[in-house]
Amino acid sequence: MMTIVKVFLFILGFLFVLGVVAVITVAVLGRKFYLSWKKPYKEAIESFNHLPAPSRSFIEAFVQHRTFGDWFQRRGKYELDTLAIAYCASDERKRVKIMEHLPKHTKRQFHHQLKRTKQLTQEEVIDASRIFKEYMKRELENPHQKVELGLYALYFHEEYGPALHRIQHHSRHLNKNLREKIEQIVEVSLRNIPYYKERRMYEHTHKLETVLTKDLPEMLELMTQFSPSQRAEKEKELEAYLHAFSKELQQSEEKVSADINQQLVIKMRATTEKFKTT
């Protein structure tokens, strides 16, 4: 009799354990399927968010800028790998807009691509940043388009982003002529810094970087501290100073160009002398 009771209790216990396992399995699978249906891109987005902040910061800033909309319309619909990175870097509202503006057949393809993405790598994010910067560079070098200070701040996000944002912020409170002069100096400086760096002209590079990251932001911040009655006069003083500084920049460019030209003339003259007949 005791043996039968033991067998019965054993079977009952086994069925209970089996039932608990079944319930847990159903719950886990159910949650997985629910998340797969409700949040199909959760793994892709989380893998992006787990990357180091310096790797993500440029793309997170880029998707908030109007240039991303231009890139999306012109190229994003055809470069889905890069678009996937931008999608993961966007907020919920922008993700909805991206999906809404994709053609139907592209949307289906993009959906499956994101759903299959389990892990984004740092190399993929770096490649996407490079693609976005190449697109922005064409915008910056377009001679027929006036470039806003915000685009420079975004393009040079890693190098001078905070300083350029300070300049942009404080410039908003100044008159139009002064703002244009500030933008001109920023543009000339940012155009020349890579040129000077490439040619190891360290003194020129240091001067321009100091102007961008320290001198100009601090001057503009001080300017905003004047009372409205004093500011108009001080703006004229700063505009005159920046005008003179702009001329110095131009003279510096011309001197560098003249030095290079002189070296070229000497080189050509020396080459000609080698082949002169005696």
Sign of the alpha-carbon torsion through 245, 246, 247, 253: positive
Are the C-beta atoms of 167 and 182 separated by less than 8 Å? yes
By CB atoms closer than 10 A (0-12, 13-18, 19+), residue 158 is: exposed
Q: What is the full per-residue pLDDT of the chain (278 aa) written as tens digits?
A: 556 656 555 566 655 566 555 555 544 444 444 344 346 588 888 888 888 888 888 999 999 999 999 999 999 889 999 999 999 999 889 988 998 899 888 888 988 888 888 888 889 999 999 999 999 888 888 777 777 788 888 888 888 888 998 998 999 888 889 998 998 899 888 888 888 888 888 888 999 999 999 999 999 999 989 888 888 899 999 999 988 988 888 888 888 888 888 888 888 888 887 777 55
Are the C-beta atoms of 86 and 63 separated by less than 8 Å? yes
Residue with tokens 């300070």: 166
Residue with tokens 């055809």: 78
Contacts 24+ apart (CB under 8 A), 60-69: 60/89, 61/154, 61/157, 61/161, 62/86, 62/89, 62/129, 62/132, 62/154, 63/89, 63/90, 63/94, 65/150, 65/151, 65/154, 67/135, 67/136, 67/139, 67/151, 67/154, 68/132
Q: What is the pTM of this model?
A: 0.71
Residue with tokens 């509202």: 93
Q: What pLDDT is attached to residue 152? A: 84
CA 264 – CA 118 distance, rounded (Å): 56
CA 154 – CA 268 distance, rounded (Å): 42
CA 208 – CA 160 distance, rounded (Å): 12
**Quick one: which H or E segment has residue 116?**
helix 104-116
Q: What pLDDT is attached to residue 273? A: 78
CA 28 – CA 231 distance, rounded (Å): 66
3-state DSSP assignment of residue 132: helix
Sign of the alpha-carbon torsion through 77, 78, 82, 88: positive
Q: Which of 108, 95, 13, 4 is nearest to 48 (CA)?
A: 95
Are the C-beta atoms of 181 and 249 separated by less than 8 Å? no
